[in-house]
């Protein structure tokens, strides 16, 4: 068993080095609106493979903290000027408004969101991204008229 671990250790190191190189090659910090930005906030995306990245966002809406974590798949690779993508995130997908007793209270709703969109590098390392998002959640009783569709619009810097 020890012999097997000694043989596999260099393979694990090579894989870890490949991921670290990929992170250095094309990661992105962005600000914008939409679910991947915590509604109004910031998002960081780290490329872990040629076609896959991991992402997380923090933001706020109506004084409520919002967060998401997830990933994106780039079917045609990510390092090109125009990169179509598919996204999946878990975290804050809606802000609920409750007007009980003459006061307005807001609360967050967690769920999944799935999107299709693109990242467009318009000048050097600068990019604009746009996605159409479908949010999956269940409204608590007493709430209605929630829209499942959403969008995101953001500015990013690739480093």
User: Across-strand partners of 47?
Assistant: 53
Give the pLDDT of residue 15.
57
Please give the Cα distance from 8 to 143 (Å, whole number).
55
Please give the Cα distance from 26 to 151 (Å, whole number).
24
Region class of 91: left (phi > 0), else alpha (psi between -120 and 50), else beta: left
Domain containing residue 33: CATH number: 2.40.160.20
Classify each residue of 22-61 as buried b or exposed e, where b means 16 or more C-beta atoms within 10 Å of its C-beta: beeebbbebebbbbbbbbebebebbbbeeeebbbbbbbeb
Give the pLDDT of residue 5.
42
Range of the domain at 92: 2-158
Model confidence pLDDT, tens digit, residues 59-78: 998 889 999 999 999 999 77
Give the pLDDT of residue 67.
97
- For the chain, the domain total comes to 1
């Amino acid at each position: 068993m020890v012999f097997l671990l000694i043989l596999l250790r260099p393979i694990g190191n090579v894989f870890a080095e490949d991921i670290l190189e990929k992170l250095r090659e094309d990661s992105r910090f962005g600000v914008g609106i939409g679910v991947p930005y915590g509604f109004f906030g910031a998002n960081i995306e780290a490329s872990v493979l040629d076609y896959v990245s991991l992402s997380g966002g923090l933001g706020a809406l109506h004084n409520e903290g919002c967060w998401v974590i997830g990933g994106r798949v780039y079917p045609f690779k990510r390092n090109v000027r125009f990169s179509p993508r598919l996204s999946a995130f878990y975290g804050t997908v809606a802000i609920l408004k409750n007007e009980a007793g003459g006061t307005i209270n807001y609360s967050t709703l967690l769920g999944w969101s799935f999107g299709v969109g693109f990242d467009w590098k318009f000048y050097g390392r600068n990019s604009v991204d746009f996605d159409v998002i479908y949010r999956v959640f269940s409204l608590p009783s007493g709430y209605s008229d929630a829209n499942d569709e959403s969008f995101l619009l953001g500015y990013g810097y690739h480093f």
